[in-house]
Amino acid sequence: MDKKKNVEIDVNGEKYERLPIKTHVVMYGEVLDDIVKRYAGEQVQENDILFVSEKIVAITQGRAYPVKDIQPRKLAYMLSSKVTKTKAGIGLGMPETMEMALRECGTLRILFAAGVSAVSKALGRKGDFYRVAGYKASSIDGPTPNTIPPYNTYVVLGPESPDAVAKELSEVMGCQVAIVDINDIGGNTLGISHSGMNRDKIVQILKDNPLGQCHESTPLGIIRKLSK
C-alpha cells in the first residue's frame, strides 16, 4: 500500500493542492460524464483543473480485457522477455500486454521501437522504446497484485481520443480538464480540454502520483493553485 502523499506541492515557486476524489469501482457500461459529475461536481471550484486517470476513461470505453482472453503470439513472448520490469507495474513485460501493444500500435512500429531501444540502451540511454512506440504503448496497464479487483486480472489499454474526452468533460464540469497517465516513476498528460494548458506542468504538479498506485480507488482529482 502506498504511503500517504502530501496534499501540497511547490512547482517553480507556485504552490498547488492536489485533492484525490474517491469513487466506486468503475465498470464498462457506465457513463464517464455521469461518474465525474456525481463525484466531482460539488467539489470543483473556479480556476481548478480536474484531472482524470487514463484508466477510468479506458474502462468506460470498453478497453479493458481479461488476461485469460488474450492469446499472445510468439513475437509477444520474445519481446516481453526483453522489457525491464519496474516498481510502477508490469508494463509490457508480460506476453499479454505486449500482444496488446502489437495490436494497438502495429507490429512494424513495435519492432522499430524495440530496435531503437536496443541500440540506445547499449549507448546508456533509456526510454526510447516508449518514445518511439508512442502513448498507446506506454499507457497499457497490466495486472498486478496491488491492482484493485477485478482489474488485477485485466489488461487495460490507453484511452481513445483523450483530448476529445477532456473537452467533453470540461463542458460538463465547467472547468479545465486533463486526462493523465501518472505512476510512481513518472507520467504523461494524454489529453487537455484547452489548448493553453501546459501538459508538462501538469505532470510536474502530479509527479509524486497523488492518486496512488494501489487500492485507493481515486481515479479523479483536483489541482487547485494556492494564493501566495
Residue-wise pLDDT for 173-220, tens only, equals 999 999 999 876 678 999 999 999 999 999 999 988 887 755 568 899
Residue-wise pLDDT for 89-98, tens only, equals 678 999 999 9
Range in 5-9, 137-141, 163-167, 223-227 with the lowest mean pLDDT: 5-9
Alpha-carbon distance of 35 to 169, in angstroms, equals 10
Mean pLDDT to the nearest integer, 41-54: 94
Q: Give how far Cα 86 sits from Cα of 166, 195, 223, Å.
A: 29, 33, 27
Domain ranges across the chain? 8-63+161-225, 67-156
Give the other-Cβ count within 10 Å of 112's Cβ.
15
Alpha-carbon distance of 18 to 55, in angstroms, equals 18
Say if CB 80 and CB 90 are below 8 A apart: no
pLDDT band of residue 86 (cuts 50, 70, 90) is low
Mean pLDDT to the nearest integer, 144-161: 91
Overall pTM > 0.75: yes
Q: Element (H or E) spanning 137, and its range?
A: helix 135-138
Range in 6-10, 78-82, 188-192 with the lowest mean pLDDT: 6-10
Mean pLDDT to the nearest integer, 156-183: 95
Beta-bridge mates of residue 67: none
pLDDT score of 40: 96
Say if CB 162 and CB 191 are below 8 A apart: yes
Report, at the CATH architecture level, how domain 8-63+161-225 is classified: 2-Layer Sandwich (3.30)
pLDDT score of 66: 96
Angle at 199 between CA 193 and CA 203, to 5 degrees: 120
Q: Give the amino acid at 28.
A: Y
pLDDT band of residue 80 (cuts 50, 70, 90) is very high
pLDDT band of residue 228 (cuts 50, 70, 90) is low
Report the mean per-residue pLDDT for the chain.
90
